[in-house]
Amino acid sequence: MARVVSQQESPATVATAVGVSERTVRKWVARYAAEAEAGLADRPCRPHRSPGATPPLLVSWVAQLRRQRWTGAEIAQALQLSASTVARLLRRQGLARLRALEPPVPVQRYEWARPGELVHLDVKKLGRIGRVGHRISGDRRSRVRGIGWEYVHVAIDDASRLAYVAVLRDEGSVTTTQFWWRARAWFRRHGLRVRRVLTDNGSGYVSTRFARLCRSLGVRHLRTRPYTPRTNGKAERFIQTLLREWAYRRAYPSSPSVPWWPRTISWRFTPSAPPARGGLPAQASVSTALPGYLRAIRSAATCAISVHGRSTLMCGASWPAATRSARRRRPIAAGSLPSSAKI
């Protein structure tokens, strides 16, 4: 364009030299003559008029129905539009996902001050192992169908993170109630008087049997809102720890070969308090404020785990010591941990 304007070359000569059409050269020269350098900026390729575009009224109706949680197919049928048109309009307005209809819920973290004030209950359904699965091999074609399930029941204290875990055969009302009876008794033996229990709305927890047991124990039963698992987040997070450091830690050929508790797990109580001024970690400063039975445990993970009625107690101890204690049916005392304890 500079050669056409300043050097007075013909548009055909310049077009041949730069490899474009003569019409393109004349177009840019006309833009420069009309708007100077502002006319050389890139312009959108969208046409000035679109007679076949969806009318703005229909676009607003699509957005209004979507905010009432209508699906794209329902909107298309109600407004006599194609499904692809509705999907394009929803994408353009940022309403394609249901989560975009409501603002994200702010995270509200909480922690009860005293152990026993609240215990979280939850169940994790795990498939029984018939061979090495797709998590290790990456092959989903070879599955063992109809082998059944195992259910990991978890009870964890809100303040101290003291946990009781049992691998049971189902999640029905009888099994869930029996688990809660044993977990509450186990917490009681460790000095925790349970006052409240928080569960989701599973069939075992909403049963009359479970409610009757809570009333007889004098425990207040709290339930989370439907489809709100974050309320029971401490149990959910502990289950993730179990899956990562126990269930999926290694490749197991079958379910009976899975140990009750792995040697490699080292789950520790990590409070949210900041470090103390004197240089001591927050873990030490918080543990000194806990009662005596928890000060003895300190930062070691304390967890009872049972598989189909066989139970053992681990206080951060090594695996052989814990199994020997399980055979004797006597828990390892927190103050008499072996030298191999992970503290």
pLDDT digits (tens, 9 = 90+) for 215-230: 999 999 999 988 888 8
Give the residue-averaged pLDDT of 296-304.
39
**What is the C-alpha to C-alpha distance for residues 94 and 11, in angstroms, rounded to an integer?**
46
Using alpha carbons, list the distances in angstroms from residue 115 to 35, 162, 294, 323.
75, 9, 9, 27
Calculate the average pLDDT of the chain.
74
CB 236 within 8 A of CB 123: no
Residues ≥6 apart with Cβ < 8 Å to 192: 115, 116, 157, 160, 162
First CA to last CA distance, the chain: 77
- Output the pLDDT for position 308: 44
What is the value of pTM for the model shown?
Answer: 0.58
- Output the pLDDT for position 20: 84
pLDDT digits (tens, 9 = 90+) for 94-109: 999 888 888 777 888 8
Higher pLDDT, 202 or 284: 202
Q: Are strands 119-127 and 196-199 parallel, antiparallel or unpaired?
A: parallel
Partner residues linked to 223 by β-bridges: 199
pLDDT at 121 over 90: yes
Q: What angle, 0 to 180 degrees and rounded to 10, lies between the N-to-C axes of helices 83-92 and 56-67?
A: 80
Write down the domain spans for the chain.
2-40, 56-101, 119-336
The structure tokens 């502002």 sit at: 38
Using alpha carbons, list the distances in angstroms from residue 152 to 58, 221, 245, 265.
51, 20, 14, 17
Give the residue-averaged pLDDT of 241-255.
80
- Output the pLDDT for position 61: 94
Decide if domain 119-336 falls under CATH 3.30.420.10: yes
Provide DSSP, 133-172: -HHHH---SS--TT--EEEEEEEEETTT--EEEEEES--S
User: pLDDT grade, residue 318 (50/70/90)?
Assistant: very low
Using alpha carbons, list the distances in angstroms from residue 260 to 20, 136, 314.
75, 20, 11
- Output the pLDDT for position 309: 43
User: pLDDT grade, residue 293 (50/70/90)?
Assistant: very low
- Output the pLDDT for position 90: 94
Pick left, alpha or beta for residue 94 (phi over 0 → left; psi -120 to 50 → alpha; otherwise beta).
left
Residue 39 is given by DSSP the state G
Among 322, 342, 170, 317, CA closest to 259: 322
User: pLDDT grade, residue 320 (50/70/90)?
Assistant: very low
User: pLDDT grade, residue 6 (50/70/90)?
Assistant: low
Q: Lowest mean pLDDT of 63-67, 230-234, 284-288, 329-333, name the range.
A: 284-288
Strand locations in 217-265 (E): 220-223
CA atoms within 13 A on the CB side of 139: 7
